[in-house]
Amino acid sequence: MPAAAVYGVPPQGSVLGPILFLLYTVDLLQLIKCHHLTPHGYADDTRIYGYCPLSEVGGLAQQVSVCIDEVSA
């Protein structure tokens, strides 16, 4: 017998699925915004965008790296 999932959202088509998915992902989107970056979430994909002048690319890369570390934690 397969192990039960500890986290997740009910199967597609359930009434609670979309609500639980939003509750599950809202903290992630807020964390990204806290780093002054722009999140784009769609289904099972989240992308992080940041904009800066060309001269500040190193700082933006560091900002994204710190954000990703916090998301992982």
The yes-or-no verdict on residue 1 having pLDDT over 60 is no
38 neighbors 48 (Cβ within 8 angstroms)? yes
Place of tokens 């039960």: 4
Q: Which helix (H) or strand (E) holds 38?
A: strand 38-42
The yes-or-no verdict on residue 53 having pLDDT over 90 is yes
The torsion of the CA quartet 4, 6, 12, 16, rounded to 10 degrees, works out to 130
Chain centre distance of CA 45 = 8
Quick one: pLDDT band at residue 23, thresholds 50, 70, 90?
confident
Cα separation of 3 and 30, whole Å? 31
What would the pLDDT profile of 41-51 be if each residue is shown by its tens digit? 877 788 999 99
Quick one: pLDDT band at residue 9, thresholds 50, 70, 90?
low
The yes-or-no verdict on residue 27 having pLDDT over 60 is yes
